[in-house]
Amino acid sequence: MDFDVLVIGAGPGGYHAAIRAAQLGLKVACAEMGAVGGVCLNIGCIPTKALLHAGETIANTRHAADFGLSYGPATLDIAKMNGWKDGIVKKLTGGVAGLFKANKVTHLVGQASFIDANTVKIGDKTYTASSFIIATGSEPATLKGLDVDQVAIVDSTGALNVPDPVPARMLCVGGGVIGFEFAHIYNNLGSKVKVIEFLPNIIPGADADAVKEFGKIMKKQGIEIVTRMKANSAQKQADGVHVELENVETGEKTTEVFDRVLVAVGRRPRTAGLNLEAAGLKATERGFIEVNTRMQTGVPHIYAVGDVAGNPMLAHKAMKEGLVAAEVIAGKPSEQDAVAIPGVVYTSPELAWVGLTEQEAIDKGYKVKTGLFPMSASGRAMTLQSTEGFVKMVVEEGTDLLLGVHIVAAHASDLLGEAGLALEMAATASDVALTIHAHPTLGEAVLEAAESVHKQAIHIVNR
Partner 1 sequence: RPVIHAAPSVRRLARELGVDIAQVRGSGPAGRVSEDDVRAFQKGGS
Binding-site residue ranges: 49, 136-138, 174-181, 197, 266, 307, 313-316
Q: Which stretch binds partner 1 (CB under 8 A): 92-100, 143-151, 227-235, 423-431?
A: 423-431
Q: State CA 238 to chain mean position distance.
A: 35
* Binds partner 1 (CB under 8 A): choice among 1, 208, 426, 434: 426
* Binds partner 1 (CB under 8 A): choice among 401, 437, 440, 454: 401
Strands (E), 251-323: 253-258, 260-263, 267-269, 302-304
Cβ nearer to partner 1, comparing 42 with 428: 428
d(CA 246, CA 117): 48
Rg (CA), the chain: 23
Q: Which stretch binds partner 1 (CB under 8 A): 99-107, 367-375, 393-401, 437-445?
A: 393-401
Long-range contacts of the stretch 240-244 (C-beta < 8 A, 24+): 240/152, 240/169, 241/152, 241/153, 241/171, 243/146, 243/171, 244/145
DSSP state of 5: E
Q: Which stretch binds partner 1 (CB under 8 A): 225-233, 251-259, 308-316, 422-430?
A: 422-430
**Shortest approach of partner 1 to residue 426 CB, angstroms?**
4
Burial label for 278, CB within 10 Å (0-12, 13-18, 19+), is: middle
Burial label for 161, CB within 10 Å (0-12, 13-18, 19+), is: middle
Sheet holding 343-345, edge to edge: 343-345, 350-355, 402-409, 390-396, 368-374
| Residues 143-182 contacting partner 1, CB under 8 A | none
The answer to whether 363 contacts partner 1 (rule: CB under 8 A) is no
* Binds partner 1 (CB under 8 A): choice among 130, 424, 435, 440: 424
d(CA 303, CA 236): 44
**Shortest approach of partner 1 to residue 396 CB, angstroms?**
8
**For the window 86-125, what string marks contact with partner 1 as x by the rule CB under 8 A?**
----------------------------------------
The answer to whether 360 contacts partner 1 (rule: CB under 8 A) is no
Question: Is 16 an annotated catalytic residue?
Answer: no
Cβ nearer to partner 1, comparing 320 with 380: 320
d(CA 284, CA 282): 7
First-to-final CA distance of the chain: 67
**DSSP-assigned states of every residue in 217-269:** HHHHTT-EEEESEEEEEEEEETTEEEEEEEETTT--EEEEEESEEEE-S-EEE
**Shortest approach of partner 1 to residue 336 CB, angstroms?**
11
Q: Left (φ > 0), alpha (ψ -120 to 50) or beta: where does 398 sit?
A: left
Query: At a CB cut-off of 8 Å and minimum separation 6, what does 404 contact?
Result: 207, 340, 353, 354, 355, 356, 357, 358, 360, 361, 393, 394, 423
**Shortest approach of partner 1 to residue 67 CB, angstroms?**
43
**Shortest approach of partner 1 to residue 400 CB, angstroms?**
7
Q: Which stretch binds partner 1 (CB under 8 A): 249-257, 258-266, 368-376, 419-427?
A: 419-427
Burial label for 88, CB within 10 Å (0-12, 13-18, 19+), is: middle
The answer to whether 400 contacts partner 1 (rule: CB under 8 A) is yes
**Shortest approach of partner 1 to residue 403 CB, angstroms?**
9
Could you tell me how many residues of this chain bind partner 1 (CB under 8 A)? 12
Query: At a CB cut-off of 8 Å and minimum separation 6, what does 316 contact?
Result: 12, 341, 342
Amino acid (one-letter) located at 356: L
3-state secondary structure of 103: coil
The answer to whether 335 contacts partner 1 (rule: CB under 8 A) is yes
The answer to whether 296 contacts partner 1 (rule: CB under 8 A) is no
The answer to whether 428 contacts partner 1 (rule: CB under 8 A) is yes
The answer to whether 339 contacts partner 1 (rule: CB under 8 A) is yes
The answer to whether 341 contacts partner 1 (rule: CB under 8 A) is no
Catalytic, out of 242, 439, 454, 459: 439
The answer to whether 82 contacts partner 1 (rule: CB under 8 A) is no
Binding-site residue set for FAD: 49, 136-138, 307, 313-316
**Shortest approach of partner 1 to residue 450 CB, angstroms?**
14
Q: Where does this chain bind partner 1 (CB under 8 A)?
A: 333-335, 337, 339, 399-401, 424-426, 428
* Residues known to be catalytic: 439
